[in-house]
Each structure stands twice: as C-alpha cells, then as structure tokens.
C-alpha cells in the first residue's frame, strides 16, 4: 500500500494536520510507513495559535485521507498496449474483478482499524471507477430490499457484477467535479452524465457541483474540437 502523509494549510478556520494517500492497487503489501517529511506530533502541539493565526492545535485539526481508485479495465488494457488508452471501448472505465478485490481488502482494513467510525464525509470524483472504489471501501453493508433508504450503489452498477451497497451506517458521499482526472484525449477519463449516474448511485449527492459537472462536459467538448482542428 502506498501511503504518504503531509501537512496542509487551508484558508479557513480548520487546519488539516495530516493527509494520507492510499493506493488500493498495492493494499496487500505490509503496513504503511509514514514518510520523513511529516511533522512530529510534538511540534504541532507546541504551536501557538495566538502568534500565528494560520496554525491551529491538534484538537482543532482534521485528517484528510486521499484514496486512489482500484484497478480499472483501462489500467489492464494500457499495460498491454499504451495506445489502448485511446479506445472508445474504455469510456468511463469501470473496475476489474481484481479492482473489486482490492476495494474489499481496503474496506476490511478500514473496518478493522476503526477508521470507518472516524470518517465525517467522503468526497469522490464523478467517474465510474472512483465512485465504485469509494462506496465499496467506505459504504455500508450489503443492501437489502425493503429498507426505506436509497442504496449507495445498485446491484451490478457499471458492469460490476457486485451486489448493491447500503447507505446505512456510513458517512455522506458527495461528488465533486474538481476531484476528477484531468480532461484530455483518453476516453477512459471521460464520464457519463449525472442523469445516468444518479440511478446507479442513488445516495451519492451530485447537487453540490452539478453546474461544474455540466461545465466540465462543455470544456471537454471544446478541447476535443480544438484537438481535431490541430490534427
């Protein structure tokens, strides 16, 4: 598992003391080690918020965990032939069976360490593979018919062959366009419309950046037209 920690200063009343980057693709490796550039706990405790208004003591800090999506079909195709990234068949790539296994392993770790009880919010980019990774790792248990709340993910969403995932006993999920992969020429980095996503992920909140998501699609179309003209 690849994990890095760092200190992040935000222009708000909160100070995010640490940032953990997790890659599910190597999750079966030994436990992570904290990199040397992370500040020590002692130095954070010694901070005096009265002398520097931009720094805050640990009791007013939040931890930000960054999780990379698990293996997608585009990763497998691209490893065999880099030109495959240009294939329209990889549009909005979904997770592979191995990717779902990586997600399940991450979920077990999150549950066993008690981290699942400390998460206040899950922010996810609106791509199929990232939403599958997020709900699989941080969502509720398996969804059962008769429960009077929408599931986080319906059964077999995005050719996953995965059972539905409940939104019970888990943090809220919000899709944010600015978290997604940069827009370019690779179809795997493009996505479906939010109208197609909502039935697949009913409990994910797409309203926060609905306008940005729409604008993102326009930006992509403009860039694609520019590339076609240059060719």
Local structure of 59: helix, strand or coil: helix
Catalytic residue among 65, 69, 89, 161: 69
State how far the Cα of 178 lies from the Cα of 47, in Å rounded to an integer.
32
| Residue of 32, 10, 6, 9 whose CA lies nearest to 19 | 6
State how far the Cα of 216 lies from the Cα of 183, in Å rounded to an integer.
8
- Within a 10 A sphere around the Cβ of 136, how many other Cβ atoms? 23
| Torsions phi, psi for 65 (to 5 deg) | -105, 125
82 annotated active-site: no
- Token pair, residue 29, equals 């490796």
User: Longest C-alpha distance within the chain, in Å?
Assistant: 58
Catalytic residue among 65, 109, 155, 181: 181
181 annotated active-site: yes
Kindly list the catalytic residues. Answer: 69, 181
């Amino acid at each position: 598992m690849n994990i890095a920690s760092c200190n992040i200063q935000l222009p708000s009343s909160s100070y995010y003391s640490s940032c953990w980057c997790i890659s599910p693709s190597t999750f079966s490796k030994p436990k992570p080690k904290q990199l040397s550039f992370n500040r020590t706990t002692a130095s954070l405790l010694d901070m005096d918020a009265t002398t520097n208004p931009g720094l805050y003591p640990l009791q007013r800090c939040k931890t930000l965990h960054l999780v990379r999506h698990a293996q997608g079909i585009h990763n497998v195709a691209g490893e065999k032939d880099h030109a495959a990234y240009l294939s329209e068949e990889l549009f909005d790539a979904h997770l592979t069976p191995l990717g779902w296994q990586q997600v399940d392993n991450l979920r077990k770790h999150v549950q066993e360490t008690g981290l699942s009880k400390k998460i206040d919010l899950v922010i996810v980019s609106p791509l199929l593979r990232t939403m599958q990774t997020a709900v699989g790792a941080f969502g509720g248990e398996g969804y059962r018919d008769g429960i009077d709340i929408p599931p986080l993910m319906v059964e077999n969403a995005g050719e996953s062959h995965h059972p539905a995932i409940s939104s019970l006993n888990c943090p809220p999920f919000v899709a944010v366009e600015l978290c997604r992969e940069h827009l370019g020429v690779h179809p795997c980095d493009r996505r479906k419309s939010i109208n197609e996503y909502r039935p697949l992920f009913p409990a994910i909140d797409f309203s926060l950046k609905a306008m940005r998501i729409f604008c993102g699609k326009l930006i992509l179309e403009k860039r694609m037209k520019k590339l076609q003209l240059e060719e």
